[in-house]
Structure 1
Amino acid sequence: MGISSPGIGSNLDVNGIIAKLMAVEAAPVATLDKKSASYLAKVTAFGTVSGALGTFQGSLSSLTSLSGFQSLNTNSSDSNIITGSATNKAQPGSYRVSVSQVAQAQTLASGGYKSTTSTIGLGAKTTINISLGTVTGGSFGVTSTALGAGVVNGGITPGALSLNGTAIATDGSTRSAKLLADAINAKSGTTGVTAKADTTQTAATLFGNGGASTFGAIDTSGGGTYSLSVSGIDIISQATGIAAGGAGGVDAAAIDAVLSGNNSVTQALANANITVSGTAAAGTLRFSNTDGNNINVTESVTGAVTGGIGNSGTANSGYNATTTSTVSLVSTDGTQITVGGSNPGVAGLTAGVSGAYQGATFAQDGTRSSGNIVIDSTNNTLQGIRDAINKANFGVTASIVSDGSSGTPYHLVLASSSTGANSNMKITVSGNNGDPADPSVESLLAYDPAGTQNLSQKTAALDTLANVNGIPVTSHSTGITGAIEGVTINAVKVGSASLSVSKDTGSLTSNISGFVKAFNDLNTQIKSVSSYDPETKKGGDLLGDSTIQTLQASLRRQMTQTISGLEGSKLTSLSQIGIAFQKDGTLTLDNSKLQKAINTNFNDIAGLFAAVGRSSDPDISFVSSRTATKAGDYRIDITRLATQATLTSAAAVPASTTIAADTVWTVKLNSSTSSAAISTASVKIPAGTYTAQELSNVLQASINGASNFTTSGATVSASINDDGTLKLNSTKYGSGSNLTLTSDTGTAVADIFGAATSVDGVDVAGTIGGFSASGDGQMLTGAPGAPTEGLKLEIKGDTIGARGTLGFSQGYAYQLDTLAKNYLGATGILTGRTKGLNDTVKDIGKQKDAFNAKLVDIEARYRKQYTALDTALSSMSKTASFLTQQFASLNK
């Protein structure tokens, strides 16, 4: 059996010998470990630099964009009334704003229904057309009936009438429509209701019927007297002893002579605000009072008299009649009016909630989409109608609201999605293919401010009305734009407040300070990994590294060169705003110098940092650039302006055009840039008779309401040209703009546009700085390979040829951001170096693993050799011991 523990038999330290031999053999492993540690230290150092460079790049984000230098602060003296925001076009200043009305959306509600899922009507196919527009003229409210004789004689008792829960102060003296209106207006601040007494007018048949005079000539020959008065004003009289038709007698012609002249009678009537129309001779004489006062017509007689009003040759015992008027109630905010009180009927009103547009007209807004919704047996419930309206997305949202009652609690409520007076709804209900609409659906939804109003208006569509520095302004939304250039005023509630606009110098100063600090932090990190410390006599892990040296040199070079392409700018270097290098390579910021630059050259600071393009032509705007775009001043020459696809009628459209029922056109819009499913729509044009402008509006709204076009963002605009022709055009510019109309049913396209054909749009064409450029709509972009590569400009206006120059500059922040991108990211220089070092570390690891495997073999060989030696020595030791014993025995 062999020796199990080396050295036992021979006393040879086999393990110790092998350990020392292996220590010598393993010496290269330590060298590899040292190399690996060195490379890993460089990886860590590059990671530190990458992190600092990334932080520095982050500090540039607010400085690379032009908008970061043009922000303005707005401050309201009362943010509960107004707030504001400003763009770079605004000018600092203070503005006084008074808000008298805040925009709101229109809300309509149906009557109550027992269930949301019960069918409405019989399911006949019915088309609902929803359009949005403006209501003009007339009023929203309630009109009373004429006041009765009881009011004329005894007035309106206290408490008889209340409006919106407020009692109207009436009494026995309230005997006319004017006095009732005055009493209502005295409480308008509380009720939100104003009143107007309508014109009082005597009957058209008072002095005749059908044009035949029934005023008989007065005969006082029997000893009587006669006089005619109107509201206490003596019109004419006849003394006793005058036969009918005699000299000085009263007849229709005599009355007309008095009322047609300029005399004390006509003057007294005018002073009483009483006007005269018609003639007694024709039987059409009427008296009117526009202020709503009662008109009393009296014939006073004594003795025997014949003739007079409605009397020819028969005895006249006297006549006395008082004509009253009606009162029109107007809701100041367009909501329903609640009429109550102990006896509102005496004021000609009915108790309950009511209100509707009266005498109004509706004009569709062509800029708002319009469309059709089909209601049939699949969706003729409140829920189905609600969902169909919401799915159509025509600027109206529908909901179902329960009032909590036990009988018919459910109401369909429609609300315009936008605020403003141009968001009033008109809902037209019609049948299909000549069939009538389902009457139940029509009874539910038909709503026309100028006609049938089956829905009740709960809130009116209102504009924001305000006064800005003494100038009245109007806005469809709560935001007021355009009143102050570059400033949006947001109206919160009625009231007055001041809005101040000032330069946001605080953010600019903070951003520049952050830029300086981030650079100094970056510089510190670079120095820590690349410099030599004479005290410790140690160098950084990246000392002498060419990548770090190049980065450091590039940063300093870009920050010390002047900025070119800043036409007209007084700032071209960082030193002009107080940023300068110190001896140790860090930056310092002179805040006083920066503030001076902000005060004197605020608009030029942006050019020092961001990519800026300034055009001498206000209709040419800088959009963007690329890294390859070179700074400089470039001449702009336009050879062709971008156009939109247009279709113009061959002749002027008539004053009135009728669109037949079931008129459907197929419209293709911008089909070359999108799929047919999106660019083609079947559009139903609402039937009706339209003026030229109304036709323009309805076509624009109907086409824009097609869901296909809503999804793709394609729209058209329509207008009436000065020559009366109708122009329809795609709002998209360029070669992708086209428009085709094809007749399907009803009124043909040719009936409106004649033989006209559409003209496709074209892209802008021209050069930038004499170099070629490509056009896309109104965008002109410098071609690759030129100094203007990637320079994108928006070309507007109507002039071709030379269009001035554009000065383009790439500021420090823009250039430094580009530099940082070259070093960072997946393909950046630092990333590449780090990857290379990590790959080297992996290779060293592989070498170490291979060498360690080799050491195992070496150790096994040494152990085998020394084990054999140990065995041999042990055997020799035994032999020596045996021989010694034998020799000792022989000696004995």
Structure 2
Amino acid sequence: MRSAASALSDIDTLEVFSSTSSDDALTVAVSPEAAPGSHSILINQLATTNTWVQDTSTFDHKTDYVGGGLFIYSYNNKEITITAVEDVTTLEDFVNLINNDENNPGVTASLLYQGGHYHLMLSGQETGEDYRISVNASSTEVWKGDIAFTLASDSTQNAGLTTKITELDEFTLNGGLQGDEKITINGKNRFGTDLAETELSVTANTTVGHLIDSINDHFDGVATARFENGAIYVTDHIAGTSLLEVSLAYDNGATGDTALTMPTMAVLTEGGGASESLASLGSASFIQTQSARSSEIKIDGYPSSATQEVQTLTPAAVPTGGHYHLSYGGETTGEIAHDASLAEIKTALELLSTVNTDDITVGGDTDDGLAIGALTFTFNSSLGNVEMISIDDTALTGGASPYSFVETTEGNAGWLRRNGNSVSDALSGITLNLNDINDVDSGDNPIPIEVTISRNPRAVSSKIKNLVSAYNSLITELKSKTEYNAETKEMGVLSNDIAVSFIKTQSRDPFIGTVAGFVDSIDTYIQSMDIGLTIDTTGVMEFDTDEFNDAMNDDYINVLELLGATKGGNSSNANIPFYSADANYTTAGTYDVEVDISANAITDVRIKLSTESSFRDNSTWATDLVTGMSIFDDDGNPVYPEHGLQFTVDLTQDDGTYTATINVKQGIAGALEELLDEILEADGRLDVSKDILNDRITAMERRIELEEARLTKVETRLIARYARLEKTLTMMQQQMAAVSMVSQVTFGS
């Protein structure tokens, strides 16, 4: 029965939908958040990993020494330096140095034997254009914040991307958000060109992830921000000397008095500070054999069209001499003369490994390029929204800085792009697993893959039937072991067992009355009988599939919650919303909450189950997040029912006492599974019952042992007595024989 209950105890794993796909090129997984319907899918390309191979190898054997020096590579915006030792490190050793490096960002090194030589091959472990490998001639500039963001609820724990700004320990709410708070982001690209300031509005829902996204928008492909262990990192896209800068500031608005301690960004790794020095594995000897590509799909014809990205380079004043360099896709062109023609500029860009022929068209007023004025760079529409080109103008003369690129038209490839081949964020509740591109018809037109999502009450119904069968089997077995048998005129062997009596009684409870946390003013269904599950007078469970199907058609989410809610919740007061509950320790049910607010801060919190008579005031809070008292007794059990219950409070409210009713829901199957865990766990009720029976058996065996010992002693005494009697009898018989003999001798026969 435990496994049958477990199959229904988590709403996220209930198979409430079935899906079909017209082609094996696409498979589909569906969760309860999906909506029934049909979709037409086009798959233009699959995501691939990035691979680089040393093309000009001189290694004849795996055991050849690679020499001494530094090897520098980057992946996923992390740069790694590998040090080889002269006459010590072999090619095989070098592969192991990369693969066994605890800081390896996700690159696998291997050896490819070709043309009589061993070639070092570097392969990315993740797919998508965000996961590119770069073998660098020198180090890449990295900036890092001087503090780590931590949680207000536990300052020893680092924040994550989903952590709200207002939930940071570094944030002080004071009088509350007024609506004009913001974080400003300023910076320069690697050539020292100022970038336009970016602003991020701070609301109650703004997260750290939003901040990282805004930093990336600010740099628009010339550098990338990441969040790791609570700290913000910004990494240049190109190795070498860099004038990159980044600064973050918090503005609490015109009337607000909130505060946020922002990290001061500073150079962690200086661009060009270290250079490669391992000649046998120089960066120039590597070629890209497989590019990092993202998957591309259309869903129901969306996106409907593609747009070419246009970037414009406008000098403050036209240069009269010198040269410049352009950087794109992590690479930099050679020297481009100040008056190079449009075709020459295009050719210089196409020499980069990250630019294919006709990826970029260069335009201008005349063919004299930058010497005349503004240039436009128009990208092939298939490239979509691309990173910004940047310019190194330090060798230009006669003009005036800044020479800056501006995105005048944002590109759109006409495809939804994702790093992986499993797309779970395009259609709510639906994961599209891409296995191949579409087949084509006789005219080479892709044949759309048709996907159908439909509700599947039969799958849930089947699991309920399994539970009913398991429940009834248990009850039947318990009856046979506990009740009076009219034929044998004997009570069942477990009729006096307390644990068995407990199981019989408690296993009914989840199916009787209102399910914990459900209320008729909010929920359509609040009892098992509402969805066709009943227990008759003999204790047998019955399942009415017609009533269940009607309920599923009426409010299937409520039905699923009634079966498998896992300590989700809701609140009667929008200003005191439910936040979370501990799936293992919070008691499901309805809680009454009272919160005192003074000067935009919590001063006291009182909480109790609605079935309790008095409140407890031992909850804790950090700014606006309240946590029910979470302590354990000596046996490791929660002391209070609200253990792990969390809710937030709007501190912008006036001073006063505010109340809420918070419902923590646990479905029927979850409650039954929890009960069975309590019974079956180590030192649970069955173990206790077994221990009691074992103690009784041990005591009985001891009594038998003692009785056997006593009987053995009695037997020994009786045997000894018998032996003495037998000896006496023998002597008497001997005496009788002797008397007879004397008589014969004396008197004759």
TM-score norm. by structure 2 comes to 0.55
**Which amino acid letter does the alignment assign opposite residue 369 of structure 1?**
K
Among candidates 118, 127, 131, match of residue 64 of structure 2:
118
Name 1:372's counterpart in structure 2.
81
Deviation track 1:832-890 (CA, whole Å, cap 9, x = no partner) reads: 22222222222222222232223232222222223222222332333334434444555
Matched, 1:590 2:590: no
What is the alpha-carbon distance in structure 2 between the residues aligned to residue 798 and residue 398 of structure 1? 54
Q: How many corresponding residue pairs?
A: 468
Name which of 825, 828, 833 aligns with 2:684.
828
Instruction: Tell me, yes or no, if structure 1 residue 383 matches structure 2 residue 112.
Output: no
Match of 2:555 in 1: 601
**Alpha-carbon distance in 2 for matches of 1:372, 1:803:** 58
CA offset digits 1:149-195 (Å, max 9, x no partner):
xxxxxxxxxxxxxxxxxxxxxxxxxxxxxxxxxxxxxxxxxxxxxxx
Paired with 2:285 and 2:13, the residues of 1 have a C-alpha distance of: 53
d(CA) in 1 for partners of 2:641 and 2:299? 44
Cα separation, 2, equivalents of 1:426 and 1:65: 44
Q: 1:523 aligns with which of 469, 475, 478?
A: 475
Deviation of 1:100 after TM superposition, in Å, equals 1.0
AA aligned opposite 2:491: G
Residue 541 (1) aligns with residue 530 (2): no
1:114: how far off? 3.6
Q: How does 1:367-446 map to 2 (within 5 A)?
A: 368-377=77-86, 382-390=91-99, 391=101, 392-403=103-114, 405-406=115-116, 409-430=117-138, 437=275, 441=279, 444-446=281-283
Alpha carbons of structure 1 residues 620 and 550: separation in structure 2 relative to 1, 3 Å: closer
CA contact (8 A) 1:615 1:622 kept: no
Find 1:782's aligned residue among 628, 635, 646: 628
Using a 3 Å threshold, how does the CA distance of structure 1 residues 624 and 88 change in structure 2: closer, same or farther?
farther
TM-superposed deviation, 1:512: 0.9
Deviation at 1:625, TM superposition (A): 3.5
Q: Kindly name which structure, 1 or 2, has the bigger radius of gyration based on alpha carbons.
A: 1
Q: Is 2:324 aligned against 1:615?
A: no
Q: Quick one: distance in 2 between partners of 1:797 and 1:417?
A: 44
Q: Deviations over 1:41-79 (max 9, x none)?
A: xxxxxxxxxxxxxxx223211222232346543322112
Which residue of the other structure, out of 453, 477, 495, is the alignment partner of 2:420? 477
Counterparts of 1:77 and 1:62, CA distance in 2: 29
* Contact 1:99/1:467 (<8 A) preserved: yes
Q: Distance in 2 between matches of 1:825 and 1:534?
A: 35
CA contact (8 A) 2:618 2:629 kept: yes
Superposed, which structure 2 residues align to 1:129-144 within 5 Å? 129-132=73-76
- SS of residue paired to 1:423: coil
Q: Which has the higher contact order (CA 8 A, sep 6+)?
A: 1
1:76-475 equivalence runs, <5 A = 76-80=21-25, 82-115=26-59, 116-120=62-66, 123=68, 125-126=69-70, 128-132=72-76, 368-377=77-86, 382-390=91-99, 391=101, 392-403=103-114, 405-406=115-116, 409-430=117-138, 437=275, 441=279, 444-446=281-283, 454-472=285-303, 473-475=416-418
Q: Secondary structure at the match of 1:482?
A: strand
Query: Residue 629 of structure 2 aligns to which amino acid in structure 1?
Result: A
The one-letter amino acid paired with 2:287 is S
What SS does the aligned partner of 2:137 have? strand
Query: 2: CA distance between counterparts of 1:798 and 1:427?
Result: 52
3-state SS of the aligned residue for 2:78? coil
- Evaluate the alpha carbon distance shift between residue 533 and residue 793 of structure 1 in structure 2; reply closer, same or farther with a 3 A threshold: same
Shift of 1:516: 0.6
In structure 2, do the counterparts of structure 1 residues 628 and 613 end up closer, same or farther at CA, with 3 Å as the change threshold? Answer: closer
RMSD value over aligned CA atoms? 3.9
Structure 1: distance between partners of 2:592 and 2:8: 24
Paired residues of 1:768 and 1:788 also in contact (CA < 8 A): no
Kindly provide the CA deviation profile for residues 438-489 of structure 1, in whole angstroms up to 9, marking residues without a partner as x: 6663x8442xxxxxx6422211221111111121311121122322122221
Matches within 5 A, 1:644-663: none
Render the CA deviation track for 1:84-117: whole Å, top value 9, x for unaligned.
2233322222111101121112222222324244
Look up the equivalent residue of 1:108 and give its one-letter code.
Answer: W
Asked if 2 retains the 8 angstrom alpha-carbon contact of 1:629 and 1:791, the reply is: no
Three-state SS of the structure 2 residue aligned to 1:790 is: coil
One-letter code aligned to 1:863? I
Deviates more, 1:623-632 or 1:765-774: 765-774
Distance of aligned partners of 1:484 and 1:435 in 2 relative to their CA distance in 1, 3 Å threshold: closer
Deviations 1:573-626 (A, max 9, x none): 221121222343211111111222222221112333344323356985435344
Preserved CA contact (<8 Å) 1:102 1:462: yes
Distance 1:86 1:598 in 2: 17
Is residue 558–residue 812 contact of structure 1 (8 Å, CA) maintained in 2? yes
Identify the residue that residue 67 of structure 1 maps to in structure 2. 12
Deviation for aligned residue 1:631: 0.3
C-alpha distance 468-623 of structure 1, shift in aligned 2 (>3 A): farther
Instruction: Determine if contact 2:48/2:293 at 8 Å carries over to the other structure.
Output: yes
Q: Does the Cα contact within 8 Å between 2:568 and 2:664 map onto a contact in 1?
A: yes
Give yes or no for contact 2:586–2:645 (8 Å, CA) kept in 1: no
Task: Summarize the Cα distance change of 1:112–1:129 in structure 2 as closer, same or farther, 3 Å threshold.
Answer: closer
Conserved? CA contact 2:295–2:418, under 8 Å: yes
Cα separation, 1, equivalents of 2:685 and 2:435 = 54
Maintained 8 Å contact 1:626/1:789 = no
Secondary structure of the equivalent of 2:507? helix
CA contact 1:128–1:429 (8 Å) conserved in 2: yes
Q: Following the alignment from structure 2 to structure 1, what is the Cα–Cα distance between the partners of residues 651 and 89?
A: 52
* Equivalent residue in structure 2 for 1:844, among 694, 700, 703: 700
Aligned to 1:726: none
Q: Is the 8 A contact 1:379 1:385 kept in 2?
A: no
Shift of 1:781: 3.7
Q: Percent identity, aligned pairs only?
A: 22
Per-residue deviation, 1:518: 0.9
Deviation, 1:388, is 3.4
Aligned-partner Cα distance in 2 for 1:417–1:793: 38
Instruction: Give 1:493's aligned amino acid.
Output: D
Unmatched 5+ stretches in structure 2: 140-268, 304-415, 439-447, 609-614, 631-637
Paired with 1:422 and 1:826, the residues of 2 have a C-alpha distance of 48
Q: Tell me how far apart the structure 1 counterparts of residues 460 and 493 of structure 2 sit (CA, whole Å).
A: 37
Distance 1:789 1:587, change over 3 A: same
1:565 aligns with 2:517: yes
* Letter of the structure 1 residue corresponding to residue 2 of structure 2: Q
Q: Separation in 1 of the partners of 2:274 and 2:694?
A: 81
In structure 2, how many angstroms separate the alpha carbons of the residues matched to 1:412 and 1:438? 16
Is 2:15–2:459's contact at 8 Å kept on the other side of the alignment? no
CA contact (8 A) 1:625 1:792 kept: no
**Is contact 1:84–1:489 with CA below 8 Å preserved after alignment?**
yes
SS in 2 for 1:430: coil
Gaps of 5+ in 1: 1-55, 133-367, 447-452, 641-762
Structure 1 residue 631 corresponds to structure 2 residue 631: no
CA 1:502–1:376 in structure 2 vs 1: closer, same or farther (change >3 Å)?
A: farther
1:533 alignment partner, SS class:
coil
The answer to whether the 8 Å contact 1:558/1:815 transfers is: yes
* Residue 733 (structure 2) aligned to one of 868, 874, 877: 877
Distance 1:602 1:522 in 2: 29
Q: Is the 8 A contact 1:397 1:417 kept in 2?
A: yes
CA distance in 1, matches of 2:47, 2:301: 20
Q: How far is 1:767 from its partner?
A: 7.3
- Conserved 8 A contact 1:638-1:800: no
The answer to whether the Cα contact below 8 Å between 1:69 and 1:605 also exists between their aligned partners in 2 is no
1:118 maps to amino acid:
D
Deviation at 1:891, TM superposition (A): 5.0
